[in-house]
């Protein structure tokens, strides 16, 4: 079942970059007591994610944070090493990257998709949500994975 506005995020473990390499962070570690914009993308460096989706959040980061948001986080079904490279190449300093390498989070919130037709395997659907202390307050999910319209930074700013 797909997560809905008002639902609590399920408990899963992400991988993040730490001072000594990859480290585990649970949903509570990331979201408890914080107001976070969470952006879900099918894959780092994929055309729509790399050229259309992430750049809007990089460009609008300060404007989003000025609306009472503590952080912007991006999650993808990639390993943390790929996400680190994507963060660096995209100039996305100040945005948190959460690796969901086994699609556990995407499946737990019901927003996984099958990208095997493109050789990608299980992936996350494209979305943006506002999470307040672990509770989904806004949820914008794209109907088409190659588009970043309803889940883009501009669309989210209109409802923050």
Q: Which residues are marked as active site?
A: 49
DSSP character string of 26-79: EHHHHHTT-EEEEEEES-TT-HIIIIIIHHHHHHTHHHHHTTT--EEEEEESS-
User: Using a CB cutoff of 8 Å and minimum separation of 24, what contacts does 141-147 make?
Assistant: 141/2, 141/111, 145/42, 145/48, 145/113, 146/47, 146/48, 147/48, 147/52
Backbone angles phi, psi at 57, to 5 degrees: -75, -30
């Amino acid at each position: 079942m797909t997560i809905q506005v008002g639902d609590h995020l399920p408990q899963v473990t992400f991988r993040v970059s730490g001072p000594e390499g990859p480290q585990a962070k649970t949903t509570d570690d990331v979201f408890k007591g914080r107001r976070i914009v969470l952006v879900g993308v099918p894959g780092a460096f994929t055309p729509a994610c790399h050229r259309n989706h992430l750049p809007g959040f990089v460009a609008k980061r300060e404007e989003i944070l000025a609306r009472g948001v503590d952080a912007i986080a991006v999650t993808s079904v990639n390993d943390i090493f790929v996400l680190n490279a994507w963060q660096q190449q995209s100039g996305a300093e100040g945005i948190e990257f959460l690796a969901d390498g086994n699609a556990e989070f995407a499946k737990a919130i019901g927003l996984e998709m099958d990208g095997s037709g493109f050789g990608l395997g299980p992936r996350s659907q494209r979305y943006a949500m506002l999470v307040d202390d672990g509770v989904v307050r806004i949820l914008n999910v794209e109907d088409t994975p190659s588009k970043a319209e309803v889940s883009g930074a501009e669309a989210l700013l209109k409802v923050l």
